[in-house]
Amino acid sequence: MPRKLRKLALPMLEPRSFWEKSMKIKITQNQLDRRQFLDIAKWGMLSASLMALGVRQGSAGFGKGGGGGGDGTPAHPFQVTLTVTEALVEMVDEVPIYHWVYELSETTRAAGPQFPGPVLQFTEGNVIDLTVHNTLDEPHSFTIPDVVDTGPIAPNQSIVVSFAAPSAGTYLYFDSLNAPVNRVLGLHGAFIVHPRTGNTPFSRPTPAVLRLFNDLGGEDFPGDPWRRERDLIWLFHTIDPVFNEIAHEGREIDADQFNLEFLPTYFTINGRSGFFSAHNPDTAPRGTIGQPALIRNLNAGMAVHSPHIHGNHVYLLSENGRPEEDVNLLDTWSLDPLDRRDLLLPFIIPPDIPKTAWPPKEERFPLAYPMHCHMELSQTANGGNYPQGLITHWEISGLHGQEEAPPHGRDTRHGN
Amino acid sequence: MAKKRLLRTEGILAMATRAIRTIRRDPISDLAQFEAFACNVPHANPPTPDAKTPDVRVFREFRNHEIVTPDGRRIPMWIFADPQKPSSFPSEAMRFREGQLVHSTASLSVNTHTIHHHGIEPTPFNDGVGHTSFEPSGNYTYQFSTEVDGTYFYHCHKNTVLHFEMGLYGMLLIDPPEGEGFVRRANAVVPYDVEAVWAVDDIDPLWHDFHHDAGFSCPNGENAGLNDFRPEHFLISGVFSPDTREDPRVTVRARLGQTILIRLLNAGYTIQTTTFHPDVTPEIIALDGRTLGDPRHSRYSRPRQLLANQGIRLSSAQRVNLLIRPQKRGRFPVTFEYRQYVQGDLLHTAETFIEVI
C-alpha cells in the first residue's frame, strides 16, 4: 500500500528548493583579520580555558562570567570549543540513524555528542572566541547568518573565530556548507542572546512588545512578570534516513538531489519525538496560572511547520530576530526552514472553561494540553506511529500562588 | 558500533573503521504511560466532569460518506453529521454566539474518534485529545463556553494525520452577541452583508482506503506511508477545483456598497496562498479566532489592510477573517495556490470569483 518510489540515482541540477533561502554570508574584512588557524596542539590549549569560565556540560556561555564592564566590553572573551563529529542518534522507535553533530569540548571529559548541538547562550556584546575542530572527512563550518561564519574547515583542522554576541534574540547556528545538507544531517543548534537590561527578551522591543511585557503581572495577567529562567526552546527538525545512510557510507550528497527528494520520516523537537518530547522537562512547559513562559521556536529542518497549541493562545513576539510591530494572538503559527519565532505562552486560565466550572473539581491538576504541528504528516514516525512526531505537552499545575514558578532547563541535549 | 568507511588511497579502496558513539533514546520510565500515549489510548465514555446546564446543545455522529470527483471518481470519506441532517463534506458546521455554555455530544458507533474544537480552550477532558484524556467509543459530551467570537473549526483528533484528511472536520463559528450578520473589528462590532466560508483542502485518494488505525501497533507501528502525502484533488469547502469557479457554495455575490466577510481556513496539508484581485483587496481583521485590536486580549495588534495583490499564506489549521468593501462593480478573481510543504512545488491553483453587481 505505501508508495515506495524513492529514487536516489541521478543527481538533479534544477531547481533548488525555493524554501532554501539565500544564505550567502558576508564576512567582513575585520572578521577575516581576526580569524586564526590553529593546529591541534593549540586547540587543546584553548579549550582548557573553558572550565575556568564555568561552562557547564551541555550548554555554554553565561552572561555573568565574562567580566563585562559597564560599557559592554568584557574583560575576557568567552572561550567555546565545538567539535564536529558523528553519532548514531536513536529515533523514537529506537532505530539508530547516523548523524553529523557538534560536540561541546571540555578539558576533563567530553560533553558527548549532542543532537541538536549544545545551546549557546550569551549576553549582548559578549565577545566569544569560538574554536571549531572538524574531525570528519569533509569540510564543515559554523555559521550564524549575519553574525559569524568560520568558512570551510578542512578535515582534521581547527579554526578560531572571534565575534561579539549580536542583539538579544534567538539565532540558529549551523554548518552552511553544501546547504542544506550539512545542517539537516545534524549540524545545528540554538544560539541565544540575552539583553543587558529591560523586562523583555529583546534589546530593542517594539512599543507593542513592551506594552505586553509591562502588562504581565497586572490586572489582565494576574501573576508573575516574565522570568528568564522559565524560557524554553523548541527546535524543530526533520530527518530522512535515506540521506543519513549515504553520509554513513562516506558518499557525497548532492544538495540539489537532497532538496528535491527529501521525504521527512522522523520529526523532532529538541532532538526528541512524541512521548519523549511530551514528557521532557526542557521541552514541556509547566507552571501554574500566571506564570508565563517565553518559547523560542527554531526550524532547522526541511519542512514548513504549523505548530498549534491547545489550552491557551500564544503571543507572537518576534520573527527572525525582529520584534513584531503588531503582536498577534494565535493558536497556530507557521515556521519555515531556518525561521526563528519567539512567542509568549501566557499561562492564563483556559478561556473557554465555563466560569462556573473553574476551578475544576472533578478533573485534577495538572491540566495537560498538547502543542503539535498541524501539518499532520509531522505527527508520524517512520510513516505511522501517530503521535510519535513533532509534539510536546504543556501543563497547568495549579492556581496562581500554589507553586513557585519552576525553571525550565536549557540543556536540550539528547539522551544521557 | 563501528563505521565502515571507504578510503581512497592511490586508487585502491581500503576499509577502515572508527568508533561511533550512540545518543540513546530516553528509557521508557512507565510502560503503561507510554502505551496510553502512543499506541493504546484508553477508551472511555465518562460523564462530563463539572457538568453545568448548557445554553445550547449540538450533536454529531460518525458516518461513512462518499464524494465524486469532476471526472467521476468516487472517494470514500468519513464525516461528523448532525443526526437530523443529511451527510455533507466538510462536516456540518457548528454556529454559536459569544458567551454561551455549549454541550457538544459525539455519538460514535464505529470504532473510536474524538472531537477537538480547534481554537476553543476548555479542560483536557473536553479538549478531545486521546493522549491527554481518552477516546470515546460511544457517547461523550464535550463542555465548553464560547468566550471569544471568531472563526474556529472542529475535527477528530485520533490518528489525526488520517482522520482529518478523511473529512472528519467542520467549521465552528462564534458570532458576537449581536448574532449572525455581525463581526468584531478592533474595538467595535460591525455589520456585514455577505458571508463566505472557505475551507481550503487537498485530497490524496490513496489514503482513503486506509484502515482507521493505519500505522498503529505497540510499541511501534508499521510504515503506512502517512508521511507521504500526494494530493490529486483540490477543494474549497467541499467543492472540487475547477468547479469552485462557478459553484455558489464558493463564489461570492454582493451588491456595490455591501460589506463582505470571508472566513478562510487551511484545512489541508499543503501551504496555501490566497490572492485577491486588487479591486477586492481585503483587510485582515482576525487571526485564529482573535480579533486584531480587540481591547479584551489583543490590544497589542491592529487590523491590517493588505496591499494590492498581496497573498495570504496559511499553513494547516490557520484561520483568517477578511473584510472587503468593494468600490466598483465587476467579476474579480481570487486564486488559491497549493504548495507542497517541503519542496514548495506548486501543486495546483484553484480559482473562484467575487462578483460585485
Asked whether residue B225 is assigned to any structural domain, the reply reads yes
Assess whether B211 and B149 both reside in one domain: no
What is the helix (H) or strand (E) element at residue A33, kind and residue range?
helix A29-34
Interchain pair A327, B162: CB under 8 A:
no
Assess whether B131 and B261 both reside in one domain: no
Cα separation, B262 vs A97, whole angstroms: 46
Asked whether residue B86 is assigned to any structural domain, the reply reads yes
Phi, psi dihedral angles at A356 (to 5 degrees): -75, -10
Assess whether B165 and B218 both reside in one domain: no
Check whether A15 has a pLDDT greater than 90. Answer: no
Nearest chain B CA: its distance from A193 CA (Å): 24
Assess whether B205 and B320 both reside in one domain: yes
Check whether B319 has a pLDDT greater than 70. Answer: yes
Of B91, B88, B82, residue with least CA distance to B60: B82
Interface test with B, best of A137, A376, A377, A388 (most B CBs within 10 A): A376
**pLDDT digits over B270-309, tens only?**
999 999 999 999 999 999 999 999 999 999 999 999 999 9
Assess whether B119 and B159 both reside in one domain: yes
Mean pLDDT, to the nearest integer, of A303-330?
A: 98
CB A156 within 8 A of CB A186: no
Nearest chain B CA: its distance from A112 CA (Å): 8
Assess whether B269 and B216 both reside in one domain: yes
Domains of chain A (ranges, CATH numbers): 29-194 (2.60.40.420), 207-396 (2.60.40.420)
Q: B181, B213, B235 — which closes off a domain?
A: B181
Cα separation, A192 vs A168, whole angstroms: 7
Check whether A68 has a pLDDT greater than 90. Answer: no
Mean pLDDT, to the nearest integer, of B151-174?
A: 98
Return the percentage of chain A with pLDDT > 90, whole number: 76
Interface test with B, best of A289, A316, A331 (most B CBs within 10 A): A331
Of B195, B274, B277, B204, residue with least CA distance to B234: B204
Interchain pair B315, A310: CB under 8 A:
no
Q: pLDDT: is A55 or A276 the higher one?
A: A276
Q: B128, B156, B181 — which closes off a domain?
A: B181
Nearest chain B CA: its distance from A68 CA (Å): 35
> Hey, which residues does A68 pair with through a beta bridge?
A74
Nearest chain B Cα to A115, which residue?
A: B23
By Cβ distance, the residue of A115, A263, A276 closest to B228 is A263
CB B136 within 8 A of CB B44: yes
What cell numbers appear for B312 in the block? 495570504
Q: What is the DSSP string of A344-373?
A: EE--PPPTTS-GGG-S-SSS-SSEEEEEEE
Assess whether B236 and B89 both reside in one domain: no
3-state secondary structure of B22: strand
Instruction: Please report residues of B whose CB lies closer than 8 A to that of A392.
Output: none
Nearest chain A CA: its distance from B255 CA (Å): 32
pLDDT category at A409 given cuts 50, 70, 90 is: low
Helices (H), strands (E): how many in chain A? 8, 24
Calculate the alpha carbon distances from A163 to A105, B143, B249 in Å.
19, 55, 58
Q: Is the ipTM of this complex over 0.85?
A: yes
Asked whether residue B4 is assigned to any structural domain, the reply reads no
Mean pLDDT, to the nearest integer, of A297-324?
A: 98
Assess whether B104 and B224 both reside in one domain: no
Q: B131, B146, B181 — which closes off a domain?
A: B181
Nearest chain B CA: its distance from A197 CA (Å): 22
Q: What is the pLDDT of residue A3?
A: 56
Instruction: Please report residues of B whose CB lies closer than 8 A to that of A306.
Output: 266, 315-318
pLDDT category at A405 given cuts 50, 70, 90 is: confident
Q: What is the pLDDT of residue A105?
A: 84
Assess whether B166 and B78 both reside in one domain: yes
What cell numbers appear for A219 in the block? 490586572
pLDDT category at A76 given cuts 50, 70, 90 is: confident
Interface test with B, best of A375, A392, A399 (most B CBs within 10 A): A375
Asked whether residue B222 is assigned to any structural domain, the reply reads yes
Asked whether residue B51 is assigned to any structural domain, the reply reads no
Environment class of B69 (CB within 10 Å of its CB; exposed 0-12, middle 13-18, buried 19+): middle
Q: What is the CATH number of the domain that holds B225?
A: 2.60.40.420
**Chain B from 123 to 182: CB within 8 A of any A CB:** 123-125, 127, 129, 131-132, 143-148, 159-162, 164-165
Assess whether B232 and B295 both reside in one domain: yes
Assess whether B226 and B339 both reside in one domain: yes
HSE-up of residue A126 (Cα within 13 Å, Cβ side): 27
Domain residue limits at B175 = 56-181
CA A173 to chain centre: 9
pLDDT category at A408 given cuts 50, 70, 90 is: confident
Assess whether B229 and B347 both reside in one domain: yes
**pLDDT digits over B206-227, tens only?**
999 999 999 988 999 989 999 9
Check whether A108 has a pLDDT greater than 90. Answer: no
